[in-house]
Amino acid sequence: MPVTPISATSNPVRQTPLFASNPEVLARVAEMRARYAKADPQTQLPDVDPRRIPRHIAVIMDGNGRWAKQRGFPRIFGHRNGARALRETVEEAGRLGVEAMTFYSFSLENWRRPPEEVEALMLLCVAYCEGEREALLRDDIRFRWIGRRTGLPPEVLAALDSVVEATRNCTGPTLCVAVNYGSRAELADAAKQIAGEVRAGTLKPEDVTEETIASRLYAPDLPDPDLLIRTAGEMRVSNYLLWQISYAEMYVTNTLWPDFDAVCLHTAIRDFAGRSRRFGGLDESDAANSITSGDGSA
């Protein structure tokens, strides 16, 4: 998986949309705008087929501490600027017609960090919820969070739940943050729920399927991510959405998260749109070659 550099030149001069006359494209854009009036992918990314824009993007926001250190500031300064990058990325994603974005905000493993940094991150979470509530409502963005409630300070739980409730009826894009989250813990919690249902007699062991497990995850109503973005050049998934990203495309950039912007998002989506997603099968050209060669090779 190549690490793709980001530069300001990756955003081309505005041009006439390449797919403007395609009825299927027009229908897809109309669907995006019906959900979110500000969606305008043909203006934002005229060279990308709107049908190739991911519905759900997951992001591992890495590099906040390094960004701050490079500038001689404490790590929390990087986290604060990372919150700004999150806001700008969500806004641009909405304009592109993306339905949902999930950001890895605070993992179960992050409790191992210095106590002063953990406390600062908890305070930042509360401040973000309080500061963004009106903007989310104004932009019709639904807020969600996933993770374990146990262990989070009461004020953090209250702040998160308050924004969830305030934006419950919003019908635009979904902003989901993973707080006190670990994918193995999520799967363990789903397994406990299923085991309890089997013990209670409301579910038979032989009826447990992939769909059963998926429906017991923290946010079963969100589509699985199509694209996973990781910043700061790190080449791992860090116990993040392991079930949900089974077939997601991965995109890694050297850009530190506070520097991630609309241009960076455009570059990631262009890269995604140019890939062939086979989901374990073959694309048309590979299938044709397989049939004509008859050798059964992969």
Identify the bridge partners of residue 228 per DSSP, sorted by sequence position: 58, 250
Residue 18 and residue 24: Cα distance in Å, rounded? 13
Of these residues, 62, 64, 81, 180, which one is catalytic?
A: 62
Q: Which amino acid is at 286?
A: D
Torsion angle (degrees, nearest 10) of CA 6, 12, 13, 14 = -120
Q: Which helix (H) or strand (E) holds 90?
A: helix 75-96
Burial state string for 264-297 with b = 16 or more CB within 10 A and e = fewer than 16 = bbbbbbbbbbeeeeeeeeeeeeeeeeeeeeeeee
User: What are 69's two structure tokens?
Assistant: 């250190």
Question: Is 11 among the catalytic positions?
Answer: no
Question: Is 110 among the catalytic positions?
Answer: yes
Sort 229 into a burial class: Cβ within 10 Å, 0-12 / 13-18 / 19+: buried
Of these residues, 11, 22, 110, 254, which one is catalytic?
A: 110
Active site residues: 62, 110
